[in-house]
């Protein structure tokens, strides 16, 4: 059965996104590598020493991972969208975390904006916004299928 390996984000500020996902959400840095190569043939965009940071759960190999990817060129083609609202491209990342604890951690770090919260049968749920305007959903337990 296919499964999600990772979701890649090209952040405007890799260090801010790293603090959001590592320090705020609580993901672990699995690896952080700067490559000495141009990946244009593979990605369709020129790169100069691209940096890739994979975050996830070191103890759960089946858990999906988040990749923060920096082209190394200082620019990224594409448009912009209103922060935290659905738009073409990455729209939402969902994490199973201790919701209240994570909201407090994000607020202490100055991240997430004003959370939108709602009760669910599995416990509280919330949405916040990452440094690039991507909506991040926080769930107390995995969404029922």
- Report all structural domains of the chain as residue ranges with CATH numbers, in order of start: 6-74+84-139 (3.10.180.10)
The Cα–Cα gap between 136 and 91 comes to 8
What pLDDT is stored for residue 39 in this prediction? Answer: 80
Q: What is the pTM of this model?
A: 0.79
Residues in contact with 119: Cβ distance below 8 Å, sequence separation at least 6, in sequence order: 125
Q: Per-10-residue mean pLDDT for the chain, 145 residues long?
A: 76 92 97 88 78 94 88 62 58 88 97 91 91 90 66
- Among 2, 21, 29, 8, smallest CA distance to 95 is for 21
Q: Do residues 138 and 102 touch, judged by C-beta distance below 8 A?
A: yes
What pLDDT is stored for residue 78 in this prediction? Answer: 54
119 DSSP β-pair partners: 124
User: Is the CA virtual torsion 89, 119, 64, 107 positive or negative?
Assistant: positive
What pLDDT is stored for residue 22 in this prediction? Answer: 98
């Amino acid at each position: 059965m296919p499964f999600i390996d990772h979701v890649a984000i090209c952040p405007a500020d890799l260090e801010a996104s790293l603090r959001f996902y590592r320090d705020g959400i609580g993901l672990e840095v699995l690896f952080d590598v700067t490559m000495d190569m141009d990946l244009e043939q593979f990605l369709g965009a020129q790169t100069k020493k691209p940096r890739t940071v994979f975050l996830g759960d070191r103890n759960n190999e089946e858990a999906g991972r988040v990749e923060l990817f920096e082209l190394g060129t200082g620019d990224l083609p594409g448009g912009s969208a209103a922060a935290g609202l659905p738009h073409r491209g990455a729209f939402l990342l969902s994490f199973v975390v201790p919701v209240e604890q994570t909201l407090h951690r994000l607020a202490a770090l100055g991240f997430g904006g004003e959370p939108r919260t709602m009760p669910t049968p599995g416990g509280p749920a919330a949405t916040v916004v990452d440094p690039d305007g991507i909506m991040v959903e926080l769930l107390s337990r995995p969404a029922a299928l």
